[in-house]
A and B are shown apart, each in its own frame.
Chain A
Amino acid sequence: MDLILEYQAQLLSGTWVTIQLALISLVFAVMFGLLGAWAKLSKNFLAQKTAVAYTTIVRGVPDLVLILLVFYGGQQMINSFGAMTGLWGYVEISQFAAGAGTIGVVFGGYMTETFRGAILAIPRGQIEAGIACGMNRLTIFRRVIWPQMVRYALPGFSNNWLVQIKSTALVSVIGLQDVVYNGFVAGRSTRQLFTFMFAVLMIYLVLTAISDLGLRWLDRRYSKGIVRSDNG
Chain B
Amino acid sequence: MGESIIAFLDAWSPLDIVLIAQNFDRFLWGALVTLQLTVISLVVGGLMSIPLAIIRSGNNPFLNAPVWAFTYLFRGTPLLVQTYLIYYGLGQFEWIRQTVVWDPILSQAWWCALIAFSLNTAAYTTELLRGAIETTHKGEVEAAKACGLGKWMRLRRIILPSAFRRALPAYSNEVIFMLHGSVVASTITIQDLLGVGRWLNGRYYLAYEGFITAAVMYLIIVLLVSRGFRLWESHWLKHLYPRDAVAVEPKKGAASIRI
A163 CA / B181 CA spacing, docked (Å): 11
Instruction: Name, among A65, A162, A205, A208, the residue most crowded by chain B CB atoms within 10 Å (CB to CB).
Output: A65
How many whole Å from B222's CB to the nearest CB in chain A?
4
Asked if B139 CB lies within 8 Å of chain A CBs, one says no
Stretch from A29-37, A41-49, A84-92, A184-192 at the B interface: A184-192
A52 at the B interface (CB under 8 A)? no
CB-contact partner of B73 in A162, A191, A205, under 8 A: A205
Q: Which residues of B contact A62 (CB under 8 A)?
A: 179-183, 194, 218
User: Which of B79, B92, B194, B218 gathers most chain A CB within 10 Å?
Assistant: B92
Contact of B93 with A by CB under 8 A: yes
Say yes or no for A172: interface residue by CB 8 A criterion. Answer: yes
Measured between C-beta atoms, what is the minimum distance from B45 to chain A in Å?
Answer: 17
- Dominant SS among interface residues on chain A: helix
Residues of A within 8 A of B184 (CB): 64, 170
Chain A, Cβ-Cβ closest to B197? A65
Q: Answer yes or no: B35 CB below 8 A from chain A CBs.
A: no
B212 contact set on A, CB distance < 8 A: 69, 73
Number of interface residues of A (CB under 8 A): 43
Instruction: How many A-B residue pairs have C-beta atoms within 8 angstroms? Tell me.
Output: 117
**Stretch in contact with the other chain, from B80-88, B143-151, B158-166, B247-255:** B80-88
Q: A184-B84, A201-B85 in contact; A61/B219 too (CB < 8 A)?
A: yes
Q: Chain A, 91-125, contact with B by CB distance < 8 Å: what is the 0/1 string?
A: 00000000000000000000000000000000000
In this complex, the interface size class of chain B, counting residues with CB under 8 Å from chain A, is 35 or more
A57 within 8 A of B: yes
- With contacts A72-B207, A180-B80, A201-B82 known, is A64 near B89, CB below 8 A? no
Interface centre among A76, A187, A197, A204 (most CB of B within 10 A): A197
Report if A194-B218 is in contact (Cβ < 8 Å); known contacts: A64-B194, A72-B207, A201-B77. no
Would you call B78 and A72 a contact (CB within 8 A)? no
Chain A residue at minimal CB-CB distance from B73: A205
Cα A71 to Cα B215 in complex, Å, equals 14
Sorted from nearest, which 9 A-B pairs have the closest CB atoms? Answer: A194-B89, A169-B78, A76-B207, A62-B180, A60-B219, A166-B78, A197-B85, A194-B92, A69-B211
Please report A residues at the B interface, Cβ cutoff 8 Å: 56-57, 59-66, 68-69, 72-73, 75-77, 162-163, 166-170, 172-173, 180, 184, 187-188, 191-195, 197-198, 200-201, 204-205, 208-209
B interface vs A, CB < 8 Å?
72-73, 76-82, 84-85, 88-93, 177, 179-184, 186-187, 194, 197-198, 201, 207-208, 211-212, 214-215, 218-219, 222-223
